[in-house]
Amino acid sequence: MAACIAFWMNEIEDAQEHWGDGWENVEEYGSAAYGHSLHTWDDGSRKLRRCNRCGGYILCQWSEFHSFADDDSYYTDYFPVESPEEADEINRRFDGFQIESQFGRRFLSVTNGRYHWSGAED
């Protein structure tokens, strides 16, 4: 088992193109597990997906911030994981905020439709 190869691509556009064939949903974790939220802000959830192109795993976290003054904000993070077991361990260890700062590897973030690499470089 392995993580999706898109996480080792230099250009975000290449990763997006790689994901153009979509994903298979492997596991839906919902909004909370192990006594903590699996998202940041007001609403959200996590899912484990498998890339249709390379068969690698992707842990996805969605979050929404409800604003009373402006438009709501939307956040999606894509984390490389080697297996369903690793995804479950990450769910156990990290809440929505912790995963973004303590994951320890590069991941892809989308904030209101803008993509950028986040986290540590391997």
Is residue 121 predicted with pLDDT exceeding 70? no
Angle in degrees, CA 32, 35, 41, rounded to 5: 50
Whether the full predicted model's pTM is greater than 0.75, yes or no, is: yes
Span 52-80, pLDDT tens digits: 999 999 999 999 887 777 787 889 999 99
Span 26-37, pLDDT tens digits: 999 999 999 999
Which phi-psi region, left, alpha or beta, contains residue 81 (left: φ > 0; alpha: ψ -120 to 50)?
beta
Say what the pLDDT of residue 113 is. Answer: 86
Mean pLDDT of the chain: 93
